[in-house]
Amino acid sequence: MNRLRRARPWLGTLVEIEAEAALDSAAVLAAIDAAFAAIAAVHAAMSVHDPHSELSRLNAGAHRQALPISAPLLQVLRAALDFASASDGAFDPMVGGHLTALGLLPEAAVAAAPEASWRDLQVDDRGCVQFARPLRLDLGGIAKGYAVDAAVAVLRAAGISAAQVNAGGDLRVFGAAPQRIALRDPRAPSRLAHAIELQDQALATSAPYHTAATGLPSALIEPRSGQPYAGGDSLSVIAPTCLIADALTKVALFATTERRDALLERHDARLLILSADSR
């Protein structure tokens, strides 16, 4: 068995891929390269920071006319709208305007309406998107999970028998044996506080790890108030896919307990909370 590990900067973080297979090193490396290419394609389509991305094109023009989008972006957008509806807006892909106002995103060519929400986005039967008013769609709460899942699909198709894809703490593993994953202490992110074992599962974490050190507000936004998450707890979700885990961490932060628990059950997911107040 050959086991290789590589890391590259994508999705605003460092993405690490570790893969093992009964293949020669060149074949394993080719599979890893192909997985990174899948992640790069998601970044190119869905980055809110890249003015040339497909997402930026929507933000610039979808309030004027319906615009066609690619199949991957359509899949992620429909998933985001489903989570928004099911959580009563606790998950909302329209927080880009709030992030811009807080200085966490660069100014956009078109300013988002302050009252914008997921209900202002329409997807027609042709897969075209139109905004009811100027919006700043930001898929940062779900696209990273989708990218991890895309990389896993490429690795499996290439004959990799076991792997871990980790995009800044949003990760997915597969293989015959469980893999041990460490979770950071929300009070001291450089310290590990808890460990779990995953097997053919994904995990995502939302926590304000670096807000105290940087002095910047949290990028975790309560969509209905537009205010940054003010708590100190770390919330992790274990789910069958990383897209689901990624989205559900925001649901866990901002939804009612009833809606949170219903969505966790619906998606066969479970929630882990590391309290900043624990001793």
In this predicted structure, the answer to whether residue 210 has a pLDDT above a threshold of 80 is no
Copy the structure tokens of residue 246: 């990624």
Instruction: Look at residue 217 in the predicted model and tell me its pLDDT.
Output: 84
In this predicted structure, the answer to whether residue 279 has a pLDDT above a threshold of 60 is no
Crossing angle between the packed helical segments 71-86 and 25-46, to the nearest 10 degrees: 70
Mean model confidence pLDDT for the chain: 93
Give per-residue pLDDT as tens, 77-100: 999 999 999 999 999 999 999 999
- Total-model pTM: 0.94
17 membership: H or E segment, kind and range: strand 13-21
Instruction: Look at residue 278 in the predicted model and tell me its pLDDT.
Output: 53
- Output 42 or 278, whichever has higher pLDDT: 42
238 membership: H or E segment, kind and range: strand 234-239
Q: Indicate the class that CATH gives domain 54-131.
A: mainly alpha
What residue spans define the domains of the chain? 1-48+141-168, 54-131, 178-279
